[in-house]
Structures are given as structure tokens and as C-alpha cells.
Structure 1
């Protein structure tokens, strides 16, 4: 029924044709055999903690698309009529992984690559803030092989091109909370990283948590395909769910956005849409030109539930404006600033514990900061609050010393760095648009960009 486009190599441009979208199953709530496992039953239903502007927030991230490309796509324009279009929403850096890490931890810690990192357990995340108020949460990763899998990637049967070898549909770098040991080293937290068959079970059981991070696989999110392929996935997955009250009720806020843009020479702004029943009816079909970044995801959640903060980028008022309708409901005052005033496309130029060229140890959060929720800064056990950025040593170049950052590589006791599913062929399958294209883009070196020390 769903014909596949041929993957024909074009010698001149060294790129393959983008395949036609192939649905993983008959619908988003129908279990799919293309995922390595079915499900482990639904999550337990948790008591809802009342928020001021919404009762549930669902983050859905797509990949590597300029604002204009997404904004000219029919599916996104259709969705925009049902919600709020954000036209001054910016990612924080390049490439993908540091943006994901920052969105849940308030910093990307100097990271300028997509390597395997395990951020130490005394570094807090939004999970700490949520659990302090008994707010349920989960991460749904489309092709993760089993709940709590910690591997760097996972190769599954290639369902888009069934005659081809196995394909790397799941990558850890797009699963932000599992990168933090404060989450991954706690079994009950680790188990909340679930696949899309688990998601279907949770929706059908009315057991979705109040905070969710949703990552499609590497073709459905557009990373290895195109924005049009991602749009087709949205039509298959999100469009029908918008009409399901188990997923989208009057208290649901859905944030649909991209991790970063694809043009490293331009400011790093991406399309973001606010959808769901929590969006005020008067605001639907409108555009909000307030300046937001991925840190706004944290500050908005903090404001809504009156949470504490992480004392990092989530309390940097320049970078963490609260979504306007939530700010109005909570009394938070945003800053009037334009995205053109702040450049957020720095790559590898910011010192930090995950930058081997400009290495500085992890430092304590700003414990005197006040976030949008008004609560105190969460300080994890084992954090030396006196070791701040002000007393940290000057950056050193570990690469010149033939060293790596201490937090790279698999965590003790974690799963294999790279795994292959049964019958899936070789691991490490190439990008469906050919790896050489991505290498050319992501190998670009930008000099003179503004470094944001947050």
C-alpha cells in the first residue's frame, strides 16, 4: 500500500533520494512489530498536580531544519492554525546533542559534538524539579529497544527499505534525560525511558505522565530524511492524537519544535508551535514574536507549577522567557528582546566540562538565582556549592594533552555503547541522504561567533 521510493545514488551530488514515508504501524496507538519490543504494560496512573496554565506538557522534537523550510511546509501551517506559531524561538548551539542536554539541564556544559557522555550524578535536571513536586514524567523514544536502554545507538530491521541492511533508528544523543547520571543511575528513573509501543499502551490506559519528551526515530524526525518526511510522520502520528482526549485534553500543552537549524552561518532560530487544549482559544492561529530559546522549556514548566530552578540557563532571563500565555497566567514578566540581539550558533567555543579543547570542571549552579517558578535552586547531594564559575581554574586543552573529558564513554554498568538488534544486519548504518553530506555540513567551522556563558 505504501510504495517506497528507490534509494538511487547520484554520483554528482553524492546524495541519495529521500525515501517516501513509511508508517511504522496502522496508527500511533497500534503496536508496531518494527520496534524491538512491544511494551511492558502501562505506567501507573499518577495523581495530577495542578498547574496554573496547563496540566500536561508534551515536548516533540524534530531535527535540523531552518525556520523558513519548516514554515513553508503545509503540515506545519495546518497545525499553526490550531495553535501559536513562535517565530523568534532559537536553539542554543550546534550540533544536536548539546541542545537536547540543555533543554532538560539548563546548560550544555561546553559540549560541541554528539559524543557519548555521562553527566555526573550531582548535576540536576528538570526531573529533580518535577519529582520534588510529585509531578510524573517520562521520555518516549520511538525505537529504543527496551525500557532504560543506555547504549549509544541501536540498529533495528530496516522497515523503510526492507531489502537493505539494518538501520540505526535510535540514537542516545536525542534522548536527553538519559545522558544525566542523576537520572540514569536511579533504576526507577531509568525505567521511564520507553518506546512508542509503551507510549500507545500509556495513552490507551489514560496513564500518560504530566511531563513528556517525545523523540521520533532518525527517519521520522527528519534527521536522515527531510522536513517533508517529518511532516508526513506528523500527519500519521500527531494529527490523529490531537483528537484523542487521552493524549490532548483541555489541560494539555504540546511544544513542537526542532533541535537546531541547518544553516550554521545564520542565527540559530527554528520553528516552534504551541498546540493542545491548554492553548487559549483566542490565541489559536496567532504568532508570538517573543524571543525564546530551549531554556524557555524549563522556565515555562517552572512557572506553571511553581517549581524551583536549576540555577543555570533556566534562570538567565535573557535566554529563558516564559511562553507568553503561561507568563500571563503566572504573573511572570518577560524581557523585551529580539533574537537578532543574541547569537546562539556557537560550536565548541564555550569552555566547559564537556569541551576537550576548553576543559573546565563542572561547577555549582548559581544558588542565589531566582527562576520563573519562584522556588529555590535545587542542589543535588554531593554538590560542592563553593566551587563556582568564579573560582574555577582557567580552561585547559585536553586534546593537546592526548586526554579526553572524564565524562565521556559508557557509564559503569550501562549497556553496550553500540548494539544491533536480532536479524538487523550491520550496525552504524549511514544516513539515508549519504553520510558525506552530513559530514560536510557538520564539519563547518564558524569563527567569531558570540560565546554565551550561561
Structure 2
């Protein structure tokens, strides 16, 4: 199926863009030019020159935008143009509402009951994608626009409004869109939780890692603005990088996606697009209607590099199909799900988990017998209690009724310190 069909349908459904008081302003003269409109130039670069060969790609860059219905993005001219250069994943679904659980799940294979945007931490005995990468020696980093310093642990950061200097300072950075900082085992490596000046430095230096997660700031990702505003950002930042071999080499795959849709009452389908030179020429401008979710980015990485799995939803065949052209090349067999059997992914209510105070249970161990797309077993971190399975967990506790919260929630007003609310339950470690 070719992209023209989708464009025609989406254009008829696209709502008019909402008015916004803000206007896009590029923070620098180009995506690889460092900007004093952030917090100063980068004073360091990574040293990631070793390449671990993948079966289909040697670098993957994920770029996440915010809160937009599929049809709205698909009918926006910049996205239409980008779609002609890649593969539209027309059945890609976010997992829940609001934002933060989707980010956490895409990194760790579960959202652990989280159903809000509060300030959480996940203990160091819980593994995530970074553990899988490091197990094979694959370099990684996340780049967060307007984050003030590498490894910044705060809930938000407010800085001068570079688009409108006469306006009051603006909260451009939020922790809830920076999933790696939420995992204690990863936040302890702050040099790899970086900002956009670091991205520019690493790309120019030729040391951009093999696995990259990118979050634009709160206006450029459409969270506080509109899809047209985000499109202007993409024209400034992403479009030039597609022709820059320092970023988009011949073996680079780029996933442009959204955390969730805007309308909670409908299926949580989001516009997602595979770009980059790793996409075969014959597949550009096409549509892949396979059922995918945010867990598919985990399984695709696992299949490409033959990685171990997390033993969580990344090994659930229904939810973690590998991107089709990667599955074909690696021999992974995706699961076909008829449209009538696709579950709704617009969860907004409470489910038991370690990251909810309304139905708290300790972190469960992963399924150690699970088989992931990389076919290499399950990776766990030191300190995990394998006896805490979903079947052996105690009944959920409504901690709010006890005037308490889950031990893993910190005050949203906290700007530093990991132990604001220490874990009082030994089982939750």
C-alpha cells in the first residue's frame, strides 16, 4: 500500500490547528551548531567509535513528540513529506495515558502500574534496554533538549525564553519525558544523559552512539504548542540531519513517533515513521499496517543485535512485533492480529504496580523463562528477588488510604536527591 492513500484519507480528517501564543524560533543556526540559548556549550564529548554490527542497522535514533492524534500528524505537510522518505507504521499504538508511563515502558518493558506524571524512581535491580545494550558492548545515550546539565535529576527546569526574550522564563525541560533518568541503574551514569549541545558535539566529533533517544523541549515536541509548531522544529532539526552522514549514515534507522494521542476516548494510535538510510529504497513511501506498540522498539533492537530480553512486555508476542523489514531480515516471525482483535490501548485507570499509590505492590521479577526477539534469554540486574513473581506478590494496597504513597514516588517539587522518600519495604528493592 502506498502513502498517497493514507495522505488523502488523513487530510479529510485533519482538524484545524489550534491557536498558540508561541512561534517557533530555532535555538541556533543549525542542528549541529551548539546554542547559548540552552545552558552553555558542551564541554565534553563521548568516545564511542567502536561499532557493534547489527543485522539490519548499526545505529537507531528514536525521536519522540507529544500528544497528537494519528490523523492530525499524517495530514501535516512536513509529516507528509517525511512519509515519502520512509515507512509509515499505520498501526503503531501507545500504551496508556498520560505521557510518563509510555516513556518508562518503552525503556523497561512495563509501566509498572504508573498512571500519572509524578516524580518516580525505579530501583537499580530493575533492568532496562541499556542493560541489554551494554551486555553486548553497544554504545548509547539520550539527548534531552534544554536539560541544564548532564544527568540532571530535577523534576523540571525553567530557563530564559529564547523565542521571546521579553517574556518570563519558560519550563522547557521536564523529567517525565526523560525515561532513562527514572531508572536508578542508568541515572548513575550521568555522562550519557545529555542535552542537545552534547548531541551537536558528539555528532560533529564522530562519536554519536549506536542507540540514541531524543526528546525535544516542551514547545518543540508539540506538548505546549501544536503539530505545526513541531513540524517547524522538524524542518529545522531533523530534515537537515537526514542528509548528514555524521548522523544518518548508510546503516542508520530513525524512529519518529509520539508518546500518545490527544483524544483519550479513542484507540491510542500514534503516527510513527521509520526513516534513515537503513530503510531499503524499495520500501520508502510505503505503509506497514502490522500491529506495533512502544514495546516494538525494544524487540526490534533485540532482534537486530541478538540481545537478551527484559522478560516483560517486550516478550509478549501480541504487543512486541518487530518492525517488519527488520523481522524479515532477522528471521523473526511477527504475530498477525486481525483488526477485530486489537485491544484498546487507551488505559487511564489504576492497575496494580509498584509505581501507583492506589494499588501498590512490590516490583515483580520478570518472566525468566520468556523468549524475546533476540533469542538469548532474559537479563536481570543484581539484587533482583526472582521469587517475587506476579503469582506470589501480596495483594495490592491502597497507600493513599493510609495517607502514604508508593516508596518509589518522590515529591514533584524535588530538584535533587534520590532518597527524598526512601524505600521502607525491603521487598520493594
Q: What is the TM-score normalised by the length of structure 2?
A: 0.91
Assess if the C-alpha contact under 8 Å between 2:253 and 2:277 holds in 1. yes
d(CA) in 2 for partners of 1:416 and 1:183?
Answer: 15
Residues 170-209 of structure 1 correspond to what in structure 2 (within 5 A)?
A: 170-184=173-187, 186=188, 189-209=189-209
d(CA) in 1 for partners of 2:21 and 2:294?
Answer: 29
The residue number in structure 2 matching 1:398 is 399
Report the Cα offset of residue 199 of structure 1.
Answer: 0.5
Gap regions ≥5 residues in structure 2:
1-17, 419-429
Assess if the C-alpha contact under 8 Å between 1:90 and 1:339 holds in 2. no
Residues 275-314 of structure 1 correspond to what in structure 2 (within 5 A)?
A: 275-314=275-314
d(CA) in 1 for partners of 2:49 and 2:398?
Answer: 47
Gap regions ≥5 residues in structure 1:
1-14, 418-454
The residue number in structure 1 matching 2:356 is 355
Report the Cα offset of residue 416 of structure 1.
Answer: 6.2
1:105 pairs with 2:108: yes
Of 2, 25, 30, which aligns to 2:28? 25
1:118 pairs with 2:107: no
Of 141, 147, 155, which aligns to 2:150? 147
Assess if the C-alpha contact under 8 Å between 2:260 and 2:269 holds in 1. yes
d(CA) in 1 for partners of 2:380 and 2:32?
Answer: 39
Assess if the C-alpha contact under 8 Å between 1:80 and 1:285 holds in 2. yes
The residue number in structure 1 matching 2:271 is 271
The residue number in structure 1 matching 2:421 is none
Residues 293-442 of structure 1 correspond to what in structure 2 (within 5 A)?
A: 293-338=293-338, 341-409=342-410, 415=416
d(CA) in 1 for partners of 2:147 and 2:237?
Answer: 17
Assess if the C-alpha contact under 8 Å between 1:118 and 1:410 holds in 2. no
Q: CA 1:410–1:401 in 2, change beyond 3 Å: closer, same or farther?
A: closer
Q: CA 1:338–1:172 in 2, change beyond 3 Å: closer, same or farther?
A: farther
1:62 pairs with 2:65: yes
Report the Cα offset of residue 41 of structure 1.
Answer: 2.2
State the Cα deviation string for residues 223-272 of structure 1 (Å, max 9, x = none): 00011000000000000010000000110000000000000000100000
Q: What is the TM-score normalised by the length of structure 1?
A: 0.86
d(CA) in 2 for partners of 1:292 and 1:93?
Answer: 14
d(CA) in 2 for partners of 1:416 and 1:363?
Answer: 25
The residue number in structure 2 matching 1:95 is 98
- SS of alignment partner, residue 97 of structure 1: helix
Report the Cα offset of residue 126 of structure 1.
Answer: 0.3
Report the Cα offset of residue 16 of structure 1.
Answer: 6.6
Report the Cα offset of residue 40 of structure 1.
Answer: 2.1
Assess if the C-alpha contact under 8 Å between 2:48 and 2:139 holds in 1. no
Report the Cα offset of residue 45 of structure 1.
Answer: 2.7
Q: CA 1:410–1:378 in 2, change beyond 3 Å: closer, same or farther?
A: farther
May I ask how many residue pairs the two structures share in their alignment?
A: 399
